[in-house]
Amino acid sequence: MRIPFDEKEAIRYFGARAGDQQAALLVNRAFLFLRNELQPRSVRQHWRCRVTQGCGTAKGTVELENGTVFHSSTLARHLKGCSELLLFGATLGSRFDTALRQLSYRSIAEGAAAQAVGAALIESYCDEQEKIWKRDYPDTVTYRPRFSPGYGDWDLSEQEAVFRVLNCAKAIGLTLTEGGLMAPIKSVTAVIGMDTGKDPDEAAKNEEESGEISRNAQCALCGASNCPFRREG
Amino acid sequence: MTFREALRSKRLFFDGAMGTMLQAAGLKAGELPELWNLSQRDVVIGIHEAYIRKGADIVKTNTFGCNRLKFAPEKGTPSVAELVGAAVKNARQAMFHTWKDGYVALDMGPTGKLLQPYGDLPFEEAVSLYAEQVEAGVQAGADLILIETMSDSYEAKAAILAAKEHSDLPIVVTFTFDQDGKLLNGADVETAMITASSLGVDAVGFNCGLGPDLLLALLPWALKATDLPIVVNPNAGLPVERDGRTVFEVGPEQFAECMAELARGGAAILGGCCGTTPQHIAQVEESCRNIPLPAPRKGAPQMIAGYGSPVGFDGMPVIIGERINPTGKKRLKEALKAENLDYVCQLALEQIDKGAQVLDVNVGVPGVDEPALLEKTVKMLQSITSLPLQIDTSNVEAMERALRVYNGRPLLNSVNGKEESLKAVLPLAKKYGAMVVGLCLDDDGIAETVKGRLKSADKVIRRAQEAGIPQEALLIDPLAMTISTGAQNAQIALRIVSTLKQRHLKTVMGVSNISFGLPQRDAVNSAFFATALQMGLSAGIINPNSAPMMEAYLAYGALSGYDESCRNYVAYFADVPAESRSTHSLTKGGKTATSGTFALDEAIEKGLVQPAEEAVRKLLAEKKEPLAIINEFMIPALDRVGNAFEKKTLFLPQLLMSADAAKAGFEILKKEMSARAGSTEKGEPIIIATVKGDIHDIGKNIVKVLLENYGYQVIDLGKDVPPETVVASTLEHDVHLVGLSALMTTTVASMAETIRQLREKAPDCRIIVGGAVMMEEYAKTIGADYYASNAVDAVHYANDVFKQ
């Protein structure tokens, strides 16, 4: 599978100013080297879910039909009005990690450029997969942007539950380290809320409250306020 | 009939899926199927029975993920031993009910964790997880061990070692490939089969991942790579999503049709994986039982492998890069003593770029802990390259440790005809499946005649065969002795090569020894190399950076006809300008962005690697002292870049490019200083590490390069480093500054613990922290001395601490 490469996004992740030719060159060189090492895989599940908003000190919850519960008020707000969701995991594979290490030994600048390329590629891969998955559901469904463990108050430790439900290790070779980090490194797990419009009032209200969250606003959901890639607005 | 007898004499059938059958019986997503061995015994036994009644000879126990990472009393589940015991009993019970003879295969799938360096599971921990399952399986009376759904050849090796070390049961290993025929770590079909076969298993093959139709394309590669019987347990097609559920849609008849084709194509044992049902197996049994068992194969070539593609010795000779060997290399000796493996990695990458297909790895420096260092080096090298390694040591303990952690099928250098060597080395080579370099020397020393050396070779060959290593797995080294001390030395070596070639034996030689003590050694070496290639040398251990050597090699390829249409030869010279060929010098030409003459500080500020190197060479030629070059040119340039970065007039890419340029300049100065006087691994030592549980290291690596450019001796402990290791290393090297990095909130706890232990054991040591989730306030809370918001900030702090 070919993943579209968003060069601009990679240059941004690299921390370069727009129009920085040298940085663009490094990013492109890294991409040319890395594209042969991609082994992208993904797993997706479609669940009916029950969203309960947080109240006082009690965190909001999102419960899947199999009884798995995710605890996060931000997630619950984000999924308000959704009766179904897609849960997925995606990874660029371990070969990418090896290549990344190799590049870092050759040149630290290329290593960092490669990291940026990886970040851009995994996002594009998720975008592409999302498009494919959405074909399986009626056109009337509207979708919320991807929301991952670690965003907002969704504790990273709940990755474990995500991994258990998706069986990520067997399905796509994606694992968790003891510290709860994903290996291979360039990977994403996330929830995509599906608003089936069964509750028109609720849906309309949602449109106002959480609405279609743009990529910029996605950053607003996250607590990493000193993140260098944070987008304002 | 035992399983091993049956394997050779009749067509055997595996059962089909367990997991998808359990799901059909009500197992929920996320529920652990192994628990059903106890809680839903009847369901499990019923599934086994259905398969046996439909013709399965081998049933897989319901133990795919049964390891102590998931199951342990302290996790509130039954123990691994209890579950494995119940699972074997269930399978046995099903056989009893059906009155059929068959075999119970202890099923072991992946651990669910990635092994280091991809993830955080240490290799020995993986071995131990599997060992526990194996012991329980043996105890419960399994007939064989099935290691299945392996998508990492390294993990497969861990499982095989565990099986061999804790049982005598037959072992079957099946791998899961993607449609391109690659495992998740990049190993191809041949590599996976070669690696497993070399470790002494009974059958190898495929399962899961793909449907039988797609496996048809992969089967020939397996048949080519191994003589062992091939097992095929495919899925019922690729998974498809239907109404929110994952289903497999290839029905029994279509499945069986493809399986029959696989059987006729040479697969010996047939069965199924995800999505297959007893009906699938019934159809397979019916359509395949009369297809004759494939004849035993003989003659798969002996090859070595890392975790990419294998390397064989029967075609175009192989280049083994000799550079990772400290003999006569001061800079490498120092790096090894200081455990600076970055330098080793650089040597590796350089040789790979220049065309090495295998890397010799020798870290034997007096005064180092060779076993520990060799193990570490092998792990390090295989974290950056999938090429095969030649493990080069005479230290038996080092040999075993390296062979053990090696990912693939190694080449072991070496055994010789001395009793001591034969007795120690051959059993290790056998156990770990290595191909072996056999030296033409024995207890009487190195003979001075062809006949004498061949006698040594024959002794090695005979003893290897007695130890179970076929002569095809040996590479005989005639031992090239320098012609400066013996006029016949080259001729002796060449005649041995040619004699052994006629006997269809493989040979290898450290080529450059031939010219020891002579001037312009490359001239002699390349002529000797060309002649040896013509005589039939299978592999040369050479310096691939030497243009004359590589040219002799490429010319031989073209002349011998191995290099079809002289493709490689032409490609090699396509980029090399004619006038610079013989001297291997840098490209001349106008001043461009990346070449031309720049002042050193300018080159660093602009981030230009080659010009920086040239400028350093020029300054050295002008008799500038290395230290003066550093202090007058490099540091001021780095300071300016650092300041601009902090003021945000210059950004991360420029900072890093400057760091690369400075680093390249430093490399040259280090070589120079090491040639002049003693150690270069000086400067204040600073430890840096990414804390335990965290496997992200780009930030840490950036800090490292910058600190090194300022002359610090950075001891890089790597990533996922336990607190104890940081403490021990701090005390051992008397370090006064430690830098810790953590990326995620979940690993900050482990950073706090590291700081706590450091404070307790090394109270004088300053601690600086950084990483994506770190903030100044947070850093204070967990007791760090300083929070560096970026790499330049870290350098400033280090300079303050050491009053630079």
Domain segments of chain A as ranges = 7-221
Q: Which of B385, B693, B705 sits opposite A108 (nearest CB)?
A: B705
| Residue linked to tokens 């076969």 | B197
Which of B110, B659, B747 faces A108 most closely, judged by CB atoms?
B659
Q: In whole angstroms, give the CA distance from residue B528 to residue B550.
A: 13
Which residue in B75, B114, B775 has the most chain A C-beta atoms within 10 A of its own C-beta, making it the best mutation to test that interface? Answer: B114
Identify which has the larger pLDDT, B100 or A178. B100
Structure-token pair, residue B796: 């400033």
Q: Positive or negative, the Cα torsion across B155, B161, B167, B170? A: positive
Average pLDDT over residues A69-80: 95
Residue B498 contacts residue B509 (beta carbons within 8 Å): no
Whether B110 contacts chain A with CB within 8 A: yes
Tokens 């967990």 correspond to what residue? B782
CB < 8 Å to B119, chain A: 175, 177, 183
The predicted pLDDT at position B485 comes to 92
> One-letter amino acid identity for B547?
A
In CATH terms, the fold of domain A7-221 is NADH Oxidase (3.40.109)
Dihedral angle computed from the Cα positions of residues B663, B771, A233 and A154, in that order, rounded to the nearest 10 degrees: 150
B663 and A95 in contact by Cβ < 8 A?
no
pLDDT over 60 at A35, yes or no: yes
Of the candidates B86, B126, B88, B81, the residue with the CA atom closest to the CA atom of residue B107: B88
Residue B695 sits at the chain A interface (C-beta within 8 Å) = yes
Interface A–B counts its CB contacts (< 8 A) at 173
Exposed (0-12), middle (13-18) or buried (19+): which is B392, by Cβ within 10 Å?
buried
Cβ–Cβ gap B114/A173 under 8 Å:
yes
Q: Which residues of B touch A111 (CB under 8 A)?
A: 698, 701
The answer to whether the Cβ–Cβ distance between A95 and B186 falls below 8 Å is yes
A34 touching chain B per CB within 8 A: no
DSSP state of A135: T
Give the pLDDT score at B583: 41
Q: Where are the alpha helices (DSSP H) in B149-239?
A: 153-166, 189-198, 212-225
Q: What is the dihedral of CA B184, B109, B310, B401, to 10 degrees?
A: 110
Residues 6+ apart with CB under 8 A from A113: A10, A14, A23, A26, A27, A29, A30, A103, B653
A23 closest CB neighbour out of B244, B653, B693: B653
Q: Does A39 touch chain B (CB under 8 A)?
A: yes
Report the alpha-carbon angle B502-B508-B509, nearest 5: 120
Binary contact (A183, B118; C-beta < 8 A): yes
Surface of B (573-602) touching A: CB under 8 A: none
Please tell me the distance in Å from A161's CA to the nearest CA on chain B.
Answer: 8
B174 φ, ψ (degrees, to nearest 5): -125, 140
Chain mean position to CA B276: 34
Cβ neighbours of A44 in B, within 8 Å: 241
Terminal Cα-to-Cα distance of chain A (whole angstroms): 34
Q: What integer best gives the mean pLDDT of chain A?
A: 88
Query: Is the CB of residue A128 less than 8 Å away from at least one CB of chain B?
Result: no
Q: In chain A, whose CA is at the least distance from the CA of B658?
A: A109
The count of other CB atoms within 10 Å of the CB of residue B597 is 11
Question: Which pairing describes strands A61-64 and A69-71: parallel, antiparallel, or unpaired?
Answer: antiparallel
- In the sheet with B269-270, reading across from the earlier edge strand, the strands are B58-60, B103-108, B144-150, B171-175, B203-207, B230-233, B269-270
pLDDT of residue B681: 55
- Tokens 């099946």: give the residue: B174
Which of A33, A101, A148, A165 to mutate to probe the B interface, most B CBs <10 Å? A101
Cβ–Cβ contact A94 with B under 8 A = yes
Whole-number pLDDT of residue B195: 98
pLDDT, averaged in runs of 10, over chain B (804 residues): 95 96 90 96 97 97 96 95 98 95 96 92 97 98 98 97 98 95 94 98 96 95 98 94 81 97 97 97 96 94 97 97 94 90 93 96 95 97 96 97 98 97 98 98 95 97 98 97 94 98 97 94 96 98 96 96 94 72 38 61 92 94 91 93 91 93 92 73 87 87 92 91 95 95 82 94 94 80 91 93 81
Q: What is the pLDDT of residue A178?
A: 83
Res A56: pLDDT = 87
A109, B698: Cβ pair inside 8 Å?
Answer: no
Min Cα separation B527/chain A (Å): 32
Task: Note which residues in 10-69 of chain B have CB less than 8 A from chain A.
Answer: 28-31, 65
Partner-chain contact B120 A183, CB within 8 Å: yes
- B414: cis peptide before it, omega within 30°? yes
Which amino acid, B655? L
* Cα–Cα distances in angstroms (integers) from residue B282 to residues A181, B279, B513, in the given order: 44, 5, 64
Within a 10 A sphere around the Cβ of B521, how many other Cβ atoms? 18
- Which DSSP letter does residue B143 get? S
Q: Does B424 lie at the interface with A, CB-CB under 8 angstroms?
A: no
204-223 of A, contacting B, C-beta below 8 A? none
Question: Which pTM does this prediction carry?
Answer: 0.92
Q: Is B109 on the interface with A (CB under 8 A)?
A: yes
Q: What pLDDT is attached to residue B589?
A: 36
Please, which residues 706-765 of chain B have a Cβ atom closer than 8 Å to chain A? 720, 743-747, 750
Answer whether residue A211 shows pLDDT above 50. Answer: no
Residue B313, classed as helix, strand or coil, is coil
Q: Does A53 touch chain B (CB under 8 A)?
A: no
Pairing of strands B103-108, B318-321: unpaired
Burial (CB count <10 Å: 0-12, 13-18, 19+), residue B8? exposed
Give residue B585's pLDDT: 35
Q: Is the dihedral of CA B501, B505, B511, B517 positive or negative?
A: negative
- pLDDT above 80 for A101: yes
What's the full length of chain B, in residues? Answer: 804
